[in-house]
Amino acid sequence: MGCFFSRRRKPAQGGQQQPGAAGHDAAAGEEKAPPQPLYSWDQRAKIDPKDYTFSGLKDETVGRLPGKVAGQQFVIQDCENCNIYIFDHSATITVDDCVNCKIFLGPIKGSVFFRDCKDCKCIVACQQFRTRDCRKLEVFLCCATQPIIESSTGMKFGCFQYYYPELALQFKDAGLSIFNNTWSNIHDFTPVSGENNWGLLPENAAIQDYVPLPSSEELKAVRISTDAMRSIIPITRGRRQKCSDESCLAVFFAGDYTTANARKLTDEMTGKGFQLVQTKEISMKAEDAYRVFKQCASEFIPLLEKGPVVALEFNGDDAVEACQSTINDVFSGTKVFVSESKASASQDVDNFFNFADMQMGM
């Protein structure tokens, strides 16, 4: 941290300016500069912490509309039997000592930390997720890195599922990719032998049964949908058991329609009964391409310079054939890597997602 200094003219001996000095400065074209603030934060808008805190509430429905948090830190503490909605992106959020609350947290650029909370149901999107000393939290999660629980029991996790018109831009403002979601890859810092401190929510769990739509007139203005087909985040199986021994890898390269194309292929494949297991968006170098794409690498290397790739794993009997057919029919003018055969498909999937996890430090 630093500040700005200006060099001052030394006055004449005795502290008095010599006669004619002012006239000489004016003749030289010098003008007295207006005073400048010493610190950059002098020019910032004043922030009232109360605008970014919910504390000591009971039996209330409260929230923040899109644009009202705008990347600031937020604190939720000592709330009981409350419905809490943050429909905006934030820097970090801490949730302390909350009981029996329903909580929605829009995209968080950094970490969300739940401490000493119990019997809460949450929908959360973040870069880092951590709990400590919590009990019976049920969380629909989108997390870019491996979620961590510590000294926590009765934890249940599902895949983030939510939509409102501003949410996609909020993910972008928070620096989060909708394709990087490790919601089911939980790390327990304090495991107990013979017990499991966490598990997965039922596949058919209806998200609005856990965190209901807001009832206050102000928050009803947010046009929410909990329909899985409209979710900003693709719904993935994660670590759930696969229904088939056959998976297929599809990789879209950077371009104007990469996200739209990945969503379109997902809709086509899931509409045919195949399951989306996992997704990833990551940058690759030429040496990475040879490792992942093998003999096809030289064809794709020039495309890697345009930006990150988006990878999708689909699972189901005949997934490779169905994916190849869909790519040919729907994306004939788009460059896509897709597993060439059933024999190579599993290795393709392992090569890519193992590489991606190493790149992201997981």
* CATH number of the domain enclosing 315: 3.30.70.141
- CA angle (166, 172, 178) in 5-degree steps: 90
Q: In a 3-state reduction of DSSP, which class is residue 131?
A: strand
Closest CA to 360 of 148, 181, 114, 172: 181
- Asked whether residue 351 is domain-assigned, the answer is yes
- Asked whether residue 227 is domain-assigned, the answer is no
Is 339 found in the same domain as 300? Answer: yes
* Tens digit of each residue's pLDDT (9 = 90 or more) over 22-79: 444 444 444 445 555 444 444 456 778 889 999 999 999 999 999 999 999 999 999 9
- Asked whether residue 301 is domain-assigned, the answer is yes
Give this prediction's pTM.
Answer: 0.85
Closest CA to 101 of 143, 149, 138, 128: 138
Which structural domain range is residue 284 located in?
242-361
Is 278 found in the same domain as 173? Answer: no
- Asked whether residue 35 is domain-assigned, the answer is no
Judged against a pLDDT cut of 60, whether residue 355 lies above it is answered with: yes
Is 207 found in the same domain as 69? Answer: yes
Is 190 found in the same domain as 77? Answer: yes
Place of tokens 């939290």: 137
> Is 130 part of any known ligand binding site?
yes
The pLDDT assigned to 27 comes to 42
- Name the percent of the chain lying above pLDDT 70: 88
**How far apart are alpha carbons 310 and 177 in whole angstroms?**
10
Is 256 found in the same domain as 208? Answer: no
Which token pair is 209?
């049964």
63: domain CATH number is 2.160.20.70
Is 248 found in the same domain as 172? Answer: no
- Asked whether residue 158 is domain-assigned, the answer is yes
**How far apart are alpha carbons 102 and 84 in whole angstroms?**
6
> Is 111 part of any known ligand binding site?
yes
Is 212 found in the same domain as 77? Answer: yes
- Asked whether residue 162 is domain-assigned, the answer is yes
Is 130 found in the same domain as 217? Answer: yes
Q: DSSP of 3-18, one letter per residue?
A: ----PPPPPPTTS-PP
- Asked whether residue 297 is domain-assigned, the answer is yes
**How far apart are alpha carbons 93 and 128 in whole angstroms?**
10
8 Å CB contact between 327 and 265: yes
Closest CA to 233 of 152, 174, 320, 186: 174
**How far apart are alpha carbons 103 and 120 in whole angstroms?**
8
pLDDT, mean of residues 240-261: 94
Which token pair is 117?
């909370």
The pLDDT assigned to 125 comes to 98
The pLDDT assigned to 19 comes to 43
* Tens digit of each residue's pLDDT (9 = 90 or more) over 214-241: 999 999 999 999 999 999 999 999 999 9
The pLDDT assigned to 360 comes to 82
> Is 129 part of any known ligand binding site?
yes
Q: Output the average pLDDT for the chain.
A: 89
Is 199 found in the same domain as 80? Answer: yes
Number of domains in the chain: 2
What is the distance in angstroms between the CA of the first residue and the CA of the last residue of the chain? 33
* Tens digit of each residue's pLDDT (9 = 90 or more) over 128-154: 999 999 999 999 999 999 999 999 999
Is 193 found in the same domain as 304? Answer: no
- Asked whether residue 170 is domain-assigned, the answer is yes
**Which domain-ending residue is among 188, 221, 254?**
221
DSSP 205: -
Is 303 found in the same domain as 204? Answer: no
Place of tokens 């997981």: 362
* Tens digit of each residue's pLDDT (9 = 90 or more) over 292-312: 888 888 999 999 999 999 999
**Which domain-ending residue is among 158, 190, 221?**
221
Is 166 found in the same domain as 92? Answer: yes
